[in-house]
Structures are given as structure tokens and as C-alpha cells.
Amino acid sequence: MLHNRGITGGQMAPRILIRASSAIDARGETAPASLLVEGGEIIEIGTPQQVGDVPDARIVDATDAVVLPGLVNAHCHLDLSGPGPVPFTGSFASWLDEVLHLRGDATPESMAAAVGRGIELSLAGGTAFVGDIAGVPRTTQLEVLRSSPLGGTCFPEFFGLGTRQQAAIEEMDSILAEHGGGDRDVLLGLSPHATYSCGPRAISHAVDRGVPVAIHVSESLEEARFLADGSGAFREKIERLGAWNEGVEIPGTHPVDYILDLLGDRPALLVHLNYVEPRHLDLLADANVTVAYCPRASDYFGHPSDGHHAYQAMIDHGIPVALGTDSLLCLDTPDRISVLDEMRHLHRRDGTEVSTLMTMATHHAARGLGLDPSLVDFSPGATGGVIAVGGVPEGGRFVDALHLDEPPRWLVPPVSS
Ligand SMILES: [Zn+2]
């Protein structure tokens, strides 16, 4: 037992002993559970018999709850938390028009307010770390995120096809020079927006920078059509936005083949992958990628059209799949932004195993964001916080909490600032 750790500067940090119906992380579930935490560090976890009494610890009674590490939302757009839900009318291209229009009206002040609301809703959902996409003006979101309790990676977003790639590349370099590096709780990554909105040179430039990179890939069939022959709704949209130019290259391949060819063995977080073919599974497993699946957002847009996202087959092939929420615009929980609700959604829809769900919401997501996975499990050492999901029956386990709608509460809050 390690009950004498945590003495810093001659002062004993407050220690708490959490008693819970069960404790679960990506490594397994303990029920009933005792969790000893001191000064934001996990000291010990086990059954009450294993951990024993800790005379100087404050007891936190969570015996009506399951405790989890603070969660990781691998893909969100916190800067779209200002407006309410945007009804989906059946066309992704016109929905996106509406979202771009909302963004176009934003001032730095309204953007900061929207991100602030997104952070509040994320914390209300038990989120400790986010992979947040930041549209223009980009640095406002980064600053707001860096002054919040959330950790994670901020991905400034870039568009640029054909002759416009050079401008995107210069913008990427300038934001990295000004805001990157250092030992930060919020890392600075890059997001070339998508395969159809950012050219190959710009995508390659981003992944060559050695920072976390997130790209929307194979989200819709309209994307596949545009990459195949340059036609369809996205071609019209790109022309309408004035982004088409004579330098645009049409790869003539499937979005997944296109991006994997571009990446080689360089790492990236591929967002959505709603449309993959069986032959892609081995290719994805051999690549250095993490997939971010946003179940409620995909369902909201009717992706994939047959209703069967390949996330389970991906996991069976050894591909790390993380969970994301995408934006608040697509969610059915106006009071929180949480991958806990994505876990509930998958468990109810597909009967997905709790161990798979926990790994998706913690270890896999941390990998995709370039974070240390041990921050989001109960192994001894630094932690991104501890949450409790209450309302479970006596002797309840996490699987019981997946059938409830109870929001999580923080027992040990995340500490980055
Ligand atoms: Zn997105």
C-alpha cells in the first residue's frame, strides 16, 4: 500500500477515499470499489478489503454510483455551441451551408462565448479532454480552451484546394510558430478540414509538422462522388463558394484510399469514416491512424445509409476507434456534450460491450489526440479527474448506468488551467 505518498513541500495534500458501487476504466471493472486519490493523483484502486481503511482520508460516499475516469471527446466543434440545434433537411451540402453561414456571422466575442458554453456543457458531461476543431478565427478558441479546466488538443481548421493550398500552408505555419510548442495542457494540432476541401499538398504539410492532425474523411457519399470524378453536390458547393480553381486535383479514388496513400505511416485522427469498404479494414489496421466515430451525429445525418457503421469490425481488426460528439447542433442532450451519451447510444442500439465502450471513450481517444492514456484510467499517478454516474441499483455496475440518462458529476475535477 502506498498511503504515505503525496507529501509535497512539507504539506500533506488532501486525500479522499471514494467508495463506489463499481469503478471502471479501460483496464477493467472493480465492484464494489475503493479509490484513494490525493492531490489529483490516483494512489490506489481495489475492493474495499484490498484498499482497507485510510484514517486520514475524507470519505466520499458514491455507493449509489459507478465511477469512471474523466472522459475524452475525440471530436467536437465547441465553437458551434452558440446556436441551438440546426434541423437537418436531408442534404448535407445545404446543412453545411447553414453552419458556415452561422460561423460567418461570428465575431471574436460571440466565438469566445460559444466556446465558453461548449466548455461548460462538456464539463457537465464529465469530459476532461477534448479534440476540438477551431474554425476561423482559430486563436480565440485556443485561448478560451487554454484558460479552461479542460485539457486536450485544439485543431485549428484550414481549407484550401488547388492554388489555394499555399495560403493554407502559410496560415498553418504561422499559427504553429505563434502558439505551438511548450508543455501545455491544451496541445496545438492542425485540421486540414476534409479530403474534398483541402488539397493533398496542404494535408501532407499538416501531417509533416509532427503535431496531432485531425481530418474529416469519408463522411458522406457526396464526398466519395467528388473525389471519384469531381462532380456532384460538393462540386457545385465548392464553385458557389468561389473555392474552385484550375489547380484542383481530382484523385479518382475512394476517400479512404486517397487519405491512406497520402499519409503513408504518418499518424492522423480520421473523423467519421462512415463509408468504408471491407477491403479498407486491413489497410486502416496497417496505417498509423485513429478513427473518431461520432455515433449520434452519424445517425442524425443518416450515415452510413445502410445504418451500419463499421466501428466494431474496425476494432476487431485492431484499429483504434475513439468516440466523439461532433457539434451540439446534432445532439439530443441540450444540457451537456458527452461521450457518455455516445456510449449509451451504442449500447442501446448495438449492445456494444462495456469494455469496448470504455476503451473508445478513454485510451483510444487519448491516442488520437496525442495524450498520455494513463491520464484517463485509474492507474497510479496523474489523472484527468474522476466522475460518478449515479442512480444505479444497489450493487450496480456500469452496464446499469448505460440504461439511465443521469448526467455524470465530478468527484475529482480536472485540473488543467
Ligand atoms: Zn466535425
pLDDT digits (tens, 9 = 90+) for 47-58: 999 999 999 999
The answer to whether 375 and 366 are in contact (CB under 8 A) is: yes
d(CA 185, CA 70): 15
Distance 294 CA to ligand 1 centre (A): 9
Distance 109 CA to ligand 1 centre (A): 22
Element (H, E) at 318: none
Domains of the chain, residue spans: 7-69+383-412, 71-375
Distance 365 CA to ligand 1 centre (A): 15
Distance 61 CA to ligand 1 centre (A): 38
Pairing mode, if any, of strands 71-76 and 127-134? parallel
The total of other beta-carbon atoms located within 10 Å of residue 59's CB is 12
**Residue 2, pLDDT score:** 34
If you ran DSSP here, which 8-state letter would residue 363 be given?
H
Distance 248 CA to ligand 1 centre (A): 23
The answer to whether 240 and 161 are in contact (CB under 8 A) is: no
Distance 103 CA to ligand 1 centre (A): 14
Distance 179 CA to ligand 1 centre (A): 22
Distance 50 CA to ligand 1 centre (A): 44
d(CA 289, CA 184): 23
The label of the residue with cell 449509451 reads 344
pLDDT band at 13; cut points 50, 70, 90: low
Distance 194 CA to ligand 1 centre (A): 9
The total of other beta-carbon atoms located within 10 Å of residue 295's CB is 24
- The CATH code belonging to domain 7-69+383-412 is 2.30.40.10
If you ran DSSP here, which 8-state letter would residue 160 be given?
B
CA–chain centroid gap for 129, Å, is 8
Distance 73 CA to ligand 1 centre (A): 12
**Residue 96, pLDDT score:** 74
Distance 6 CA to ligand 1 centre (A): 40
Q: What number of residues does the chain have?
A: 417
User: Which has the higher per-residue pLDDT, 41 or 102?
Assistant: 41
Q: Does domain 71-375 fall into CATH 3.20.20.140? A: yes
The answer to whether 294 and 342 are in contact (CB under 8 A) is: yes
- Whether the per-residue pLDDT at 157 is higher than 70: the answer is yes
pTM: 0.93
Distance 327 CA to ligand 1 centre (A): 7
- Provide mean pLDDT across the span 353-382: 97
Distance 355 CA to ligand 1 centre (A): 25
Q: Helix-strand-coil percent breakdown of the chain, rounded to 5?
A: 35, 25, 40
The label of the residue with cell 499559427 reads 175
Distance 83 CA to ligand 1 centre (A): 16
**Residue 97, pLDDT score:** 75
Distance 76 CA to ligand 1 centre (A): 6
pLDDT digits (tens, 9 = 90+) for 193-250: 999 999 999 999 999 999 999 999 999 999 999 999 999 999 999 999 899 999 999 9
Distance 410 CA to ligand 1 centre (A): 27
Distance 303 CA to ligand 1 centre (A): 13
- Whether the per-residue pLDDT at 181 is higher than 90: the answer is no
Element (H, E) at 368: helix 363-369
pLDDT digits (tens, 9 = 90+) for 91-134: 777 777 777 776 666 788 888 999 999 999 999 999 999 999 99
Distance 55 CA to ligand 1 centre (A): 48
Distances (CA, A) of 355 to 29, 126, 186, 352, 398: 8, 18, 27, 9, 10
The answer to whether 274 and 304 are in contact (CB under 8 A) is: yes
Distance 232 CA to ligand 1 centre (A): 21
Distance 3 CA to ligand 1 centre (A): 44
Distance 92 CA to ligand 1 centre (A): 12
Point out which residues pair with 209 in neighbouring strands. none
